[in-house]
Amino acid sequence: MRVLGIESSCDETSAAVLEARWSLRSNVVASQADLHAPYGGVVPEIASRRHVELVTLVIQEALDQAGVTLDDIEGVAVTNRPGLIGSLLVGVAAAKGFALARSLPLVGVHHLEGHIFSNFLAEGGPELPAVALVVSGGHTELYYVRGLHDYLILGRRRDDAAGEAFDKGARVLGFGNGGGAALDRAARDGDPKAVPFPRSRTDNPLDFSFSGVKTALVRFAKENAAQVPVADVAASYQAAIVDVLVEHAIQAAVRTGVKRVLVGGGVAANSELQRRLRAEGEARGLAVSFPPLSLCTDNAGMIAAVGHSLLDRGVRSGLDLETFARAPLTEKVYSF
Ligand code: KG4
Ligand code: ZN
């Protein structure tokens, strides 16, 4: 089944054509980052207006790059949760329009499931069970992936997401709105042991809390910034976040007894997280998988992959498909 995927949950307008189950023909992403940069964060009203301008153009580009027309599309998959409501509505309205006009099956997709499926796309299929670490601007969660579309919660964020901590760190250290990617670059030549930033612990050892390290950085920048090279501060701050992500992901695999760790979401692009988790995984005989950069950050390819799998199982959404700002991937908690 050839599936058109649409993603517009935040500030990326994206469309993709999935040729067969794990085979992408195109994956076009139009980022609005420059548009929001002067405001220091995504402005929901601006995001939805831009999605309206871009969505049909991006869909056409995805069809062109795949060398197909709408006549060749057999199903439509769209992110309908979680995300900015105004942004989600644009993609969902477009998807409904195509589905209605062409009498195509439609399915709503959970954004986080997309980030997990990025790994399956990259590897040509799932090998399960596995532990999945989903780390993005809005999420930091650990799941036990028991089977396809079958998730149990292992750990979740108590306050800020890891990506938020990276974004804040980048602003405090003078990298503007470059986010985690800019901090990652700056940290490359720095000493991660220069500043002892705190590694936060919570009562559930697999939960995450990054507000403490964020506050510690703000305080450090006010009081001591002049004495320490910025690369060293960036490397130390990044290490404090990465240490916790790596430790919890490894612990999750060890405690559940699975041999695979999947990572998804924008922060999966972090070079230090990749290096450390791969090394720790190798030392413990765990297979660690990161999607390629183009599938780490928000994209419609991952949404098309989830959609294909759901459509294949007969899951269908009606033209009354709703959008949700918040929606857990699952309510089921893993019990040890
Ligand atoms: O998944 P994503 O594109 O959007 C959300 O669903 O939130 O993730 C965006 C997040 C941002 O917080 C950004 O700073 C972070 O991913 N990010 C990185 C890197 N590249 C993107 N964080 C750390 N290191 C990177 N190289
Ligand atoms: Zn995302």
Decide: 209 in ligand 1 pocket, CB within 6 A: no
Q: What is the number of the ligand closest to the CA of 269?
A: 1
Assess if CATH 3.40.50.970 describes domain 2-115+295-312: no
How confident is the model over 194-227, as pLDDT tens digits? 999 999 888 899 999 999 999 999 999 999 878 8
Q: Do domains 2-115+295-312 and 124-293 have the same CATH topology?
A: yes
Would you place residue 258 in the very low, low, confident or very high pLDDT band (cuts 50, 70, 90)? very high
With beta carbons less than 8 A apart as the criterion, state whether 211 and 245 touch.
no
Give tens-digit pLDDT for 215-224: 999 999 999 8
Report CA 235 to chain centroid distance, whole Å.
22
Q: Is the pLDDT of residue 290 over 90?
A: yes
pTM equals 0.96
Q: Is 180 in the pocket of ligand 1 (CB under 6 A)?
A: yes
The tens digit of pLDDT for each residue in 50-62 reads 999 999 999 999 9
Q: Where are the domains of the chain?
A: 2-115+295-312, 124-293
Encode pLDDT of 144-195 as tens digits: 999 999 999 999 999 999 999 999 999 999 998 889 999 999 999 999 999 9
Give dist(CA 261, CA 281) in Å, integer: 8
Q: What percent of the chain has pLDDT over 70?
A: 100
| Domain spanning 124-293, CATH class | alpha beta
Q: Which residues contact 130 (CB under 8 A, 6 or more apart)?
A: 145, 258, 260, 261, 262
Task: Return the ligand 1 atom nearest residue 164 CA.
Answer: 12
Average pLDDT, the chain: 96
Looking at the CA of 297, which ligand is closest? 1
Of 11-15, 17-21, 30-34, minimum mean pLDDT range: 30-34
The pLDDT of residue 177: 84
311-330: average pLDDT: 97
Residue 185 identity (one-letter amino acid): R
Confidence of residue 284 (pLDDT cuts 50, 70, 90): very high
> Any alpha helices (H) in 75-197, and if so which ranges?
85-102, 111-123, 162-172, 179-187
